[in-house]
Amino acid sequence: MALSGEIQPQIAEGIDRKALTTLRNRFMAINRSRLQRVLQALPARQYNVLQLIPLLFDVNHPLLPGYVARSTPHGLTGYVPEPNILHTAQALTRSFSYRRHPAGFSAEIQSLYLMGSGGTIAQSDQSDLDVWVCHAPQLSHGAVAELAAKCQLITDWAATQGCEAHFHLVNPASFSLGDRDNALSIEDCGSTQHYLLLDEFYRTAILLGGRHPLWWLVPDYEEKHYADFTRQLIDKRFIRSHESVDLGHMARIPAGEYVGAGLWQLFKGIESPYKSVLKLLLTEVYASEHPQVRCLSLDFKHAVYANQLDLDELDPYVMLYRRIERYLLARREPERLELVRRCLYIKADVRLSRRTGSLGWKRSLMEKLVREWHWDTRQLQQMDNRHLWRVGEVTRERQQLVSELTHSYRFLSQFGRSNGVINQVNSRDLSLLGRRLYAAFERKAGKVEVINPGITPDLSEPLLTLAQRSGAGADQTSWSLYRGTLSQPELDDHVPLKYTRHLVDLIAWAHRNGLVDAATRIAVHPGDSALSEFELNNLLAALRQHFPLPLPALTETALSRPSQPCQSLLLVNVGLDPLPVTSQKNLHLISSHTDALGYSGLRDNLILSIDQVTLNSWNELQVNRFEGEHACIQALCDYLNKAHEHQHRPDLRVACFCRNRSSAIAERVEQLFQDATRQLLAEPPSRFLLQVQNSFQILERRDGVIDITRLADRDRLMRYLGSARQHYSPLALDRFALQGQDTALMLRQSRAGEIQVFYRLLPDRQAEISVLDELGALWRTRQACRDEQTLLLPLLRFLHSIRLRRQVNQSLETSLREEPLSIHAIRPAADGLPLRLEAQKVPNRGIETDYYAVQAIAEPGDDQSLKVSIFCGQREFSELDHGADLFSAAARHIIHQRAGTEDYPCYITDLDLSAVDPTGGMQTVHYLRYRQRLEDALNAAMGIARN
């Protein structure tokens, strides 16, 4: 039996035209009431905009907003403007005079609908006007383009009136089939949400003028037979076709739409969660009921047919809340339900703890709901003061919002896969969304947590206290941030807003979350640190300068790629004084050693810590700290490794505000990072030599990772430089490495495939000779120097012999190419000139002329040692003949061959290692080492023989 006033049309029994008229009147009455609620909430200028919109589409007057051309589609079906609307139009242009359309005129605009939150409890001062413009299906592409231009002009005019209006063109014939090209609403993320969008339209749309929806006249129990029911309504002339617009039915929602709609809401919810939670929960409700889902629009229509016309209960957001409430109560999830209630209260924006500021109907409706929720005055005050929420409240709310968003993501993923509706498009969207959620909310070491995703508009504090606190251990200090200005004794009585082990972690968190702005005053209790208010203010200014808020919007392009560092700020010696003794005595060291990594004669390392603050392409702010004597090298390697891994060099800035030499330290670090980056990230990369105090570090890129070789002193460095290499690798020197030493001059001359000889004259008729071979290995020796002209002849003869031997194992073309060789004299600083190199000519004579040849041949022995034979002229001395007396026998022979009694060294002029190195791949430094060992043994034997 039908309830009082309930209408239940049945095609089989015949439809009562009077009943259809009653139904239409019920819907129109609700429509008028909702429109009145919209108008009541609008300021005067926005009120005028909404009132004029139907008129602007009905007429095509050149002096009214929206005029494009005489041919632009216009005319709104059945529209007759009221006098007050004509008066408003004439206020815009006095020459406007309204004329009815002539008989036979065919209106090209079928209807205008306002959809969304207008006229609902969720309408606010920030709500925009979302208008659907349903036009005649037969319009040409050119006419539709003109109509779109008209919409844009009206949008632009509305903006001048302080009103945000959006118009969306709808072709009813194609839309009813699910075919559309444009996004109909900013709430819509694409054509995959046709039915969910239509559901929202049917339960929120307000008819501004033109035809009413045909859907109104189809009872909810006939939704599955929508096409047949509507055809009979028209064919049997129960209704006239030109009185309604057909946008389709709500009989079935494809499973894939829940995934698409949920994804879109999640994307928006990350930055504005309160606006998305309600719609996300509704999507979850629908999906959980699939495929037997009964959408809210059908509930709305059923209520009208049942004559349940309470406007408050038919409010689209109240209906949405009621459905979610039933769902969560059935699931016994009270915390989620409380979050939904808070979201609805915030959406309504009525502030019940105050007595002014909201519409009467909204206030009374919200009061009714709040009584049902059993909220007390304290909770209402807390909600109404949300703009004053501080860190504690925001953090607790964030936890629930993040939990809800994460739950929705997992629910959508599972639903989509279990129903087989994860296609290539939304699979990609799911991946992007997962990355966006990860970037926004995932905790990881060093990442600065964002606690305010649209919860409160402002977290800034006028007064804060920053204090270093001591823990149980000697090194267990931490930094805490408190609200207000507190003295040292008061700290124990207050709970900090946040505490961290390191200072930069804390101030980066305060900056990223907006607790500190330019107006914030901070009291500092530095504890054992050297932090001053001057340094703290400059640190905060540096963060504001390099990471200004709000951060740029995160793009889909950025999310589609792995995150990579974009900006890096290095903060050096935060809260540390690199020269505490001089600070205490108020002294300043004066020294020519100004390098921050080897300062003064004591070669102090002034770089004690580096805090690296990095913003990546996913808008994640990361803080990494490096401390101790290797802080600079560790930070450098971390920077280089990430830059090489991502094939992207982040924008680098360095700042230092410590008490001593801050500018020089910052400049030194920035230069070092720039120089090292230029060398180690080049293709091919160079090695990079850096001196820290009296030790040395060699940075080298191996398999994409920066490898460090640490050398404790100069002797170990020289052994490293003399070691053989498999291939040539340039060695670049940091600008302060080996400063003022001839080794630095020589190393900077290294060239692939070139042998370079350097000599330096020493006192007491001595000379130091160095050779950089073709692969950059450095060999050095000292020898007696009779004169500068003949000093290098023995070495040059030996190198000439090595070259001739190598040519045997080379192709003819290669052997004809002269192996480059150069000579430099090292001149000491004198007469105002610095230590320097002077290029010398390679002598043309004396190398290949007749001389007493001493040749050595080395072969592998049975015990893996080398067996040596020495040829003095044409005389052979071998271990087979002389055994352990080999060098003694050769030495006596050489002494006997000398005409005079002058004592001078013997030099090996040729060395054959072909038995050891049959391919000729050994580098020159190998030959020089073997030669040195043989010469040392031979000259030692000669010294014994003379005595």
User: Which tens digit of pLDDT belongs to each residue from 105-142?
Assistant: 999 999 999 999 999 999 987 789 999 999 999 999 99
- 748's tokens: 């900077």
Confidence of residue 434 (pLDDT cuts 50, 70, 90): confident
Average pLDDT over residues 730-734: 94
- 778's tokens: 């450095």
Residue with tokens 């070092």: 672
- 485's tokens: 């200005």
Report which residue type is found at 284.
Answer: E
Residue 551 φ then ψ, to 5°:
-70, 155
Rounded Cα–Cα distance for residues 448 and 511 (Å)? 10
**Cβ 771 vs Cβ 787: under 8 Å:** no
DSSP three-state, residue 821: strand
> Residue 275's closest CA among 336, 201, 340, 343?
343
pLDDT at 30: 97
Average pLDDT over residues 662-688: 94
Count of alpha carbons within 13 Å of 161, Cβ hemisphere only?
A: 25
**Cβ 828 vs Cβ 740: under 8 Å:** no
pLDDT at 468: 95
- 491's tokens: 């700290």
**Cβ 543 vs Cβ 493: under 8 Å:** no
- Asked whether residue 182 carries a pLDDT value surpassing 50, the answer given is no
Question: Distances from the Cα of 203 to the Cαs of 113, 252, 552, in angstroms?
Answer: 12, 16, 36
Reported as a single tens digit per residue, the pLDDT across 248-278 is 999 999 998 998 888 888 888 888 898 899 9
- Asked whether residue 475 carries a pLDDT value surpassing 70, the answer given is no
The dihedral built from the CA positions of residue 292, 296, 300 and 301, taken in this order, carries a sign that is negative
- Record the pTM: 0.82
Tell me the pairing of strands 651-656 and 705-711. Answer: unpaired
Residue with tokens 């007749």: 850
Confidence of residue 817 (pLDDT cuts 50, 70, 90): low
- Asked whether residue 336 carries a pLDDT value surpassing 50, the answer given is yes
Residue with tokens 């504005």: 272
Comparison of pLDDT for 94 and 468, the residue scoring more: 468
pLDDT at 816: 45
Confidence of residue 848 (pLDDT cuts 50, 70, 90): low
Count of alpha carbons within 13 Å of 936, Cβ hemisphere only?
A: 8
Question: Distances from the Cα of 368 to the Cαs of 323, 372, 793, in angstroms?
Answer: 17, 7, 107
Report which residue type is found at 105.
Answer: F
Tell me the pairing of strands 866-872 and 687-692. Answer: unpaired
DSSP three-state, residue 696: strand
- 577's tokens: 């004084």
Reported as a single tens digit per residue, the pLDDT across 853-881 is 899 998 887 777 788 999 998 899 998 88
DSSP three-state, residue 168: strand
**Cβ 827 vs Cβ 835: under 8 Å:** yes
Average pLDDT over residues 893-902: 78
DSSP three-state, residue 694: coil
Rounded Cα–Cα distance for residues 388 and 457 (Å)? 9
**Cβ 799 vs Cβ 819: under 8 Å:** no
Q: Which of 4-8, 443-447, 544-548, 770-774 has the lowest mean pLDDT?
A: 4-8
Q: Which of 150-154, 226-230, 428-432 has the lowest mean pLDDT?
A: 428-432
**Local structure of residue 852 (DSSP, 8 states):** -
pLDDT at 192: 58
DSSP three-state, residue 822: strand
pLDDT at 621: 96
Residue 494 φ then ψ, to 5°:
-125, 145
Average pLDDT over residues 876-890: 90
Rounded Cα–Cα distance for residues 875 and 894 (Å)? 10
- Asked whether residue 582 carries a pLDDT value surpassing 80, the answer given is no
- Letter string b/e over residues 185-195, b meaning 16 or more CB atoms within 10 A of that residue's CB: bebbbbebbbb
Q: What is the mean pLDDT of the chain?
A: 89
pLDDT at 193: 79
Comparison of pLDDT for 217 and 95, the residue scoring more: 217
**Cβ 891 vs Cβ 938: under 8 Å:** yes
For the chain, the residue count is: 947
Confidence of residue 187 (pLDDT cuts 50, 70, 90): very low
- Asked whether residue 593 carries a pLDDT value surpassing 70, the answer given is no
Tell me the pairing of strands 854-860 and 910-912. Answer: parallel
- 249's tokens: 């039915």
pLDDT at 896: 86
- Asked whether residue 588 carries a pLDDT value surpassing 70, the answer given is no
Residue with tokens 């004509």: 86
DSSP bridge partners of 165: 129
pLDDT at 583: 53
Q: In which region does residue 870 sit, left (phi positive, over 0), alpha (psi from -120 to 50) or beta (all else)?
A: beta
- Asked whether residue 320 carries a pLDDT value surpassing 50, the answer given is yes
CB count within 10 Å of CB 748 equals 12
Average pLDDT over residues 279-297: 94
Average pLDDT over residues 879-896: 89
Confidence of residue 335 (pLDDT cuts 50, 70, 90): very high
Rounded Cα–Cα distance for residues 615 and 385 (Å)? 33
Comparison of pLDDT for 189 and 82, the residue scoring more: 82
Average pLDDT over residues 682-689: 92
DSSP bridge partners of 245: 213
DSSP 218-265: S-GGGGGGHHHHHHHHHHTTSS-GGGEE-----S---HHHHHHHHHHH
Q: What is the CA radius of gyration of the chain?
A: 43
**Cβ 894 vs Cβ 856: under 8 Å:** no
Within the chain, how many helices (H) and strands (E) appear?
29, 27
- Letter string b/e over residues 224-249, b meaning 16 or more CB atoms within 10 A of that residue's CB: eebeebbeebeeeebbeeeebbbbbb
Q: Which of the given ranges, 138-152, 344-358, 808-822, 851-865, has the highest pLDDT on average? A: 138-152
**Cβ 605 vs Cβ 598: under 8 Å:** yes
Average pLDDT over residues 525-544: 96
Residue 612 φ then ψ, to 5°:
-100, 115
DSSP 458-517: ----SEEEEEEEE-SSTT-EEEEEEES---GGGGGGS--SEEESSHHHHHHHHHHTTS--
Q: Which of 89-98, 333-342, 523-532, 753-762 has the lowest mean pLDDT?
A: 89-98
Share of the chain above pLDDT 70, in %: 93
Average pLDDT over residues 17-35: 95
pLDDT at 26: 97
Reported as a single tens digit per residue, the pLDDT across 704-722 is 899 999 999 999 999 999 9
Comparison of pLDDT for 789 and 734, the residue scoring more: 734
Confidence of residue 355 (pLDDT cuts 50, 70, 90): confident
pLDDT at 215: 97
Residue 378 φ then ψ, to 5°:
-65, -40
Residue 488 burial by CB count (10 A; 0-12/13-18/19+): exposed, middle or buried? exposed
**Cβ 730 vs Cβ 698: under 8 Å:** no
DSSP three-state, residue 132: strand
Residue 150 burial by CB count (10 A; 0-12/13-18/19+): exposed, middle or buried? buried
Residue with tokens 């050779």: 771
Confidence of residue 759 (pLDDT cuts 50, 70, 90): very high
